[in-house]
A and B are shown apart, each in its own frame.
Chain A
Amino acid sequence: MRIAISSWRERVSPLFDVAALALIIDAAADSRLQARHDLRLPEDPLAKIDCLVGARVDELICGAISRPLQERLAGCGIGLTAFISGDIEDVLSAFRSGTIGDSAFAMPGCRGGCRRRFRAGSPGSGSGCPRRDNLVELRSLAVLPETVCADVVERMKERI
């Protein structure tokens, strides 16, 4: 399973819509961590999700996130645990141990009825996920960090 945590200054980034960095973690079935690396995210909010799709992310953990992006993630088959705050390492440990739903990790204002867990749809074509024609747009985005996402773009081509 591949997890992405949007990060900022060693903590979960407060707002995914503008997050610039994600920590990518590969976890085995027994939750043991196998590898981790940083992924720079493009500035355009929808391109961030395209980038995560290309990086084959299964689950995103992030802070606040606007509703259109929640829907887009679900349509792209990426599970979402949102409105999370805290140190990256603590959040990661909580995710592995299944305690990330604890109120200690809830953002302020989200301890009550705020929905924080969003189920993924099937990976694929839903809700504006990257398609061949979108790929051209993605390549031409001025904000796309080509050096980081070049392999991602290639893998997206394979998927399509």
Chain B
Amino acid sequence: MASDDPTRIILESISDGVFTVDEEWRITSFNRAAEEITGVSREEAIGRPCAEVFRASMCEGECALRQTIESGQPIINHPAFIVDADGQRIPISVSTALLRMDNGKVIGGAETFRDLSVVETLRQAATGRYHLGDLVSHSAAMQRLFAIVPQVAMSDCTVLILGETGTGKELLARAIHAHSLRRDKPFVAVNCGALPENLLESELFGYKAGAFTGADGDKPGRFAMAEGGTLFLDEIGEISPAFQIRLLRVLQEKCYEPVGATGSEHTNVRILAATHRDLGAMVRSGTFREDLFYRIDVLRLDLPPLRQRKEDVPPLVEHIIARFNRIQGKQLEGITADAMGVLMAHDFPGNVRELENILEHAFVLCDSGRIDMRHLPRTLNGSSPSSIHAAGIAETVMAVEAQTIEASLRRNHGNRLATAHELGMHKSTLFRKIKRLSIRLPERDGRSHS
């Protein structure tokens, strides 16, 4: 095509990426927008296999261009993502068409693709109120948490994250890192409970060659790997008293000694710690050092268990189903009211991770349509109260509302004002709901509770 060819001028001026391939799947043309979106220059792209230039999520499995060439049918706006040279995933939509000679002979295919990053950013902004990183919640308690995370993230001080197993402590830590000034530096997570003390020391601090048998060379530890970034110490309540002293020294003096080293190394990492244990009780019982506790308990974030925020179950189910649809290439439409009722009646001792496992189970058994009762684990069906099982969605919602309000009243020792505050509603709304749902109030109204 000559440089003043009208078709070429049009292709160079549009914002959609366009490339063509020959019958050997090698790139034959590559427009300006394609260069910008993929980060690959035209000179590098021409003649190379399209999958290695484009590297889209669909290339290996369901190549849209291959389907078009095999079926003769164009594909319009198929969603996918590509990975650029920085490792960033870029959401795109792809359309394809056949490339024919004047005599009708197929000589390859043409693919156009649109960068959806801006659309995705806007979508995230629209839903962002209920999302923080990969955490999803509509509950008042979690909303308050989401609201303070940006300030917590910017403060750069140590944070202690408390929560039962499966509540998303690591996701919260990642969200704090992603909102912090250290976000372009590494986030490194260590599960302190997974390693014995001697391994934990070399894992965190690294070792020098010759420190022990088999230490052939220097090995950097997690502190070194997280330099400039964030180190997440999960299950910190599991570390031994002896190691608590070593960790305390690092937090106080900002330096550590790799195993076998003769000198100290300075560290610049932000520490986020998490545990499912009651560290205060451990301090009182003498199993956790008080000085270390106060070093890490600078800012405390409490992730409530899922049973205390049942209103999060429907949006979490929606979020998880959308994710599994994406990962597993399925198109499940959602969940029936009956199945949702069973989930709402469950107490989720394993929290969000348990909900994910339940839906994974359902995805194995359900190929299309909606997840139903028969797709849920049999053990779960046994926990369903018959009143909820047989109820429609309106009754289910009312039952859950009543459960949530009753639980909040108990937590606040019957104090209506505190309950309304916790649930994020006006006290008159709470009184109206208490009356409508026939909730029995505790004898003490909680106002005198200290």
Interface hits, A1-48 → B, CB 8 Å: 8, 11, 13-15, 17-20, 43-45
Q: How far is the CA of A133 from the CA of B235 in the complex (A)?
A: 13
Q: Are B327 and A71 in contact (CB under 8 A)?
A: no
Most buried by A among B48, B186, B190, B353: B190
Kindly report which residue of chain B lies nearest to residue A159, judged by CB atoms: B194
Query: Is B381 part of the contact surface with A, judged by Cβ < 8 Å?
Result: no
Contacts of B87 in A (CB 8 A): 64-67, 70
Contacts A66-B83, A125-B191 known; A108 to B61 CB distance under 8 Å? no
Whether the Cβ atoms of B189 and A75 lie closer than 8 Å is yes
In the complex, the answer to whether B361 meets A108 with C-beta atoms within 8 Å is: no
Which single member of B199, B222, B361 contacts A121 (CB below 8 Å)? B222
Q: Contacts A8-B60, A15-B56 given; indicate if A140 touches B86 (C-beta within 8 A).
A: no
User: Which residues 171-190 of B have a CB within 8 angstroms of A?
Assistant: 186-190
Interface residues on B, range: 35 or more
User: Assuming the A-B contacts A63-B52, A140-B361, are A109 and B85 also in contact, with contact meaning beta carbons closer than 8 angstroms in the complex?
Assistant: yes
A119 and B220 alpha carbons, distance in the complex (Å): 10
CA distance A85 to B41 in the complex (A): 16
A154 contacts chain B at the CB level, 8 A cutoff = no
Q: Is B221 an interface residue (CB 8 A)?
A: yes
In the complex, are the beta carbons of B199 and A66 less than 8 A apart? no
Is A127 engaged at the interface, CB distance under 8 Å to the other chain?
Answer: yes
Chain A 116-159: CB-based contact to B (< 8 A → 1; otherwise 0) = 00010110111111010100110011110000000000000000
B191 touches A15 (CB 8 A): no
Do residues B360 and A122 form an inter-chain contact, with CB atoms below 8 A?
Answer: no
B328 within 8 A of A: yes
User: Is B84 in the interface zone, CB < 8 Å from A?
Assistant: yes
CB of A78 within 8 Å of the partner chain = no
The yes or no answer to B306 lying at the interface (CB within 8 A) is no
Distance from A149 Cβ to chain B, minimum over Cβ atoms (Å): 16
- Contact between A109 and B203, CB atoms less than 8 A apart: no
Write out the residue numbers on chain A whose beta carbons fall within 8 Å of the beta carbon of B397: none
Q: How far is the CA of A85 from the CA of B48 in the complex (A)?
A: 10
The answer to whether the Cβ of A92 comes within 8 Å of any Cβ in the partner chain is no
B345 within 8 A of A: no
A110 and B57 contacting across the interface, CB-CB below 8 Å: no
Interface centre among B53, B170, B225, B363 (most CB of A within 10 A): B225
B194's nearest neighbour on chain A, judged by CB, is A125
Q: Which residues of B contact A67 (CB under 8 A)?
A: 86-88
Q: Could you tell me if A17 and B327 are in contact, using CB atoms closer than 8 angstroms?
A: no
Closest to B207 in A: A122
- Report if A83-B360 is in contact (Cβ < 8 Å); known contacts: A13-B60, A108-B52, A109-B39: no
Instruction: A75 to B222: give the CA distance in the assembly, Å.
Output: 9
Residues of A within 8 A of B61 (CB): 18, 20
Complex Cα spacing A129 to B194, Å: 10
Task: State the Cβ distance, A40 to closest chain B Cβ, in Å.
Answer: 13
B194 A64 Cβ-Cβ under 8 A: no
- Chain B 55-96 near chain A by CB (<8 Å), digits 1 or 0: 111011100000000000000000000011111110000000
Asked if A88 is at the interface (CB within 8 A of a chain B CB), the reply is no
CA distance in complex: A14, B50 (Å): 10
- Binary interface profile of B, 187-205, with partner A (CB < 8 Å = 1, else 0)? 1111100110001001100
**Chain A nearest Cβ from B218, distance in angstroms:** 12
B357 touches A137 (CB 8 A): yes
Q: Which 3 A-B pairs have the closest CB atoms?
A: A67-B87, A109-B40, A125-B194
- Chain B residues proximal to chain A, CB less than 8 Å: 38-41, 44-45, 48-49, 51-57, 59-61, 83-89, 165-166, 170, 186-191, 194-195, 199, 202-203, 206, 219-222, 225, 327-329, 353, 356-357, 360-361, 363-364
What is A's interface to B at a CB cutoff of 8 Å? 8, 11, 13-15, 17-20, 43-45, 63-67, 70-71, 74-75, 83, 85, 107-111, 114, 119, 121-122, 124-129, 131, 133, 136-137, 140-143, 160
A-B CB contact pairs (8 Å), 27 listed: A11-B52, A14-B52, A14-B60, A15-B57, A15-B59, A20-B61, A43-B327, A64-B85, A65-B87, A85-B48, A109-B38, A114-B86, A119-B220, A121-B222, A122-B219, A122-B221, A124-B195, A125-B191, A125-B194, A126-B189, A127-B188, A129-B191, A131-B194, A133-B166, A137-B357, A140-B357, A142-B360
